[in-house]
Amino acid sequence: MIRNISYVSLSKLIVILSQLIFLVAFAKYLPVEDLGLYSLVLAIVTPIVWALAFDVPVKVISNTLETKNLFVILLPNIIILISTVMVIYLASILLVEVPSFYLLLPLLQFVKVCEVVSEIEYASLRRKERFKTFSLVSSARFSSIYLFGAMTIISGGQMITVVVVLVFVSIFFAMWSVYRLIQDGWELRLKIKNVLPYVKENKSLGVASGVKFFGSNLMRYFVAFQFGVSTLGFLTPVFYGLTALSNIATIFDNIFSPKIVKRIETNGVFSIGQNKKEMAILLLASIFIFLCAILFSAYYYGFFFAFDPENYHHLLIIFSIGWFFYVVRAILKAVSYKLELQGLQVYIQSMFVFVLAIFMYMFSLFFGVIGIAMSFVLSSIFVCLYYIFKIDRLQG
């Protein structure tokens, strides 16, 4: 377990550092409004792409995937991407000039589709517990994408040019992932008749996945429309910090989920008591992360901007409190798949979005931007408790 954690930790560390370099370059060399716009568009396309991916990485890990045909899996996303491009093309004819917002939409959408392809390969490697290979290929992909992006920014490239570079690097790694998957027994064949049954079979998972990513980006939408795109730009380093915490969380999720799922296969049930060692490790890690946030969050924010409006770095400290519940939530999701509670995902993710939205509105009235982080923590705790309640009720 320690060896596997070290492999996955190394890959996540490389991802976090390469993303950090990219965002520091973005904040230093481009206007803060561009950073806010980039963050907003990315938050818009991510739920769409992952909703149409029907949570395929989790299904690969839990060995519940109905098809290994990449064409069937990817076609819904390809159709939406082509539709987006056509709508924007028609708009450009009518409006003569298309704003940066609309140009970013299909470009970042394409980057995310390529990410889905790569994540399928990574999930397959994790399922086989080939963590060393997973570490190497994921590190190479993310470091290349973000370092090439950072170099483009430092060289004087504007926001659209930077995103075009991200697209080309993403295409390369997506093609490499397709090649490796085909070698591993996957296929890429034109089987249109199989697409609709696949979509019908997994539509609830697609909705749940879309709602999940919508919920995780709901804070960005709220900031952009409540406080402005510039404020979102200033908060992007904080949200990146939350993303970094999420990446750290996936280290433990990637290691613990397959083991917990296999324990369910052996014992026939799930209980917290069977997984005390994993829970103890998560609790110690969460305490360590919280202490690091208290000590270093102000210095971290200084990497991006010369001043800290409204002490925004405090949000990162609050987010770190909810890290433990974020990991537990991800593990309980994999458990629910194994217990054939896939339909539960839509309700749980919708509940998270609803509760988060209510909390954000209420707390932002009294605490401003700080209330957004408080809302995220409380919503994560609420969802974890609901997961445990539903799983216990099923088994009891």
- Kindly report, residue by residue over 206-222, the tens digit of the pLDDT: 877 787 788 778 999 99
> Residue ranges of the chain with pLDDT lower than 50?
none
Report pLDDT for 195. Answer: 78
Query: How crowded is residue 362: how many other Cβ atoms within 10 Å of its Cβ?
Result: 13
Report pLDDT for 95. Answer: 57
Total count of domains within the chain = 1
Cα–Cα distances in Å, from 127 out to 17, 137, 262?
26, 15, 11
Report pLDDT for 121. Answer: 85
Report pLDDT for 395. Answer: 65
Alpha helix positions (H), the chain: 2-29, 32-52, 56-61, 70-95, 100-127, 131-154, 159-183, 195-226, 229-267, 276-302, 314-321, 323-338, 344-367, 370-395
Q: With the CA atoms of 173, 176, 182 and 183 taken in that order, what torsion angle do they form, in degrees rounded to the nearest 10?
A: -140
Please list, residue by residue across 213-234, b when 16 or more beta carbons sit within 10 angstroms of its beta carbon and e when fewer do: bbbbbbbbbbbbeebebbbbbb
Give the whole-angstrom CA distance, residue 22 versus residue 154.
Answer: 10
Domain that holds residue 346: 2-395
Structure tokens at 46: 């991510």
Report pLDDT for 268. Answer: 65
Structure tokens at 44: 């818009």
Report the candidate in 344, 338, 331, 321 with the shortest Cα–Cα distance to residue 384.
331
Report the candidate in 341, 350, 351 with the shortest Cα–Cα distance to residue 394.
341
Q: What is the pLDDT of residues 12-47, one digit of tens each?
A: 788 888 988 999 999 999 999 999 999 999 998 888
Query: How crowded is residue 310: how many other Cβ atoms within 10 Å of its Cβ?
Result: 14
pTM over 0.95: no
Report pLDDT for 343. Answer: 62
Give the whole-angstrom CA distance, residue 342 versus residue 183.
Answer: 30
Q: Which residues contact 188 (CB under 8 A, 6 or more apart)?
A: 69, 70, 71, 178, 182
Report pLDDT for 94. Answer: 62
Question: For residue 66, what is the DSSP state?
Answer: S
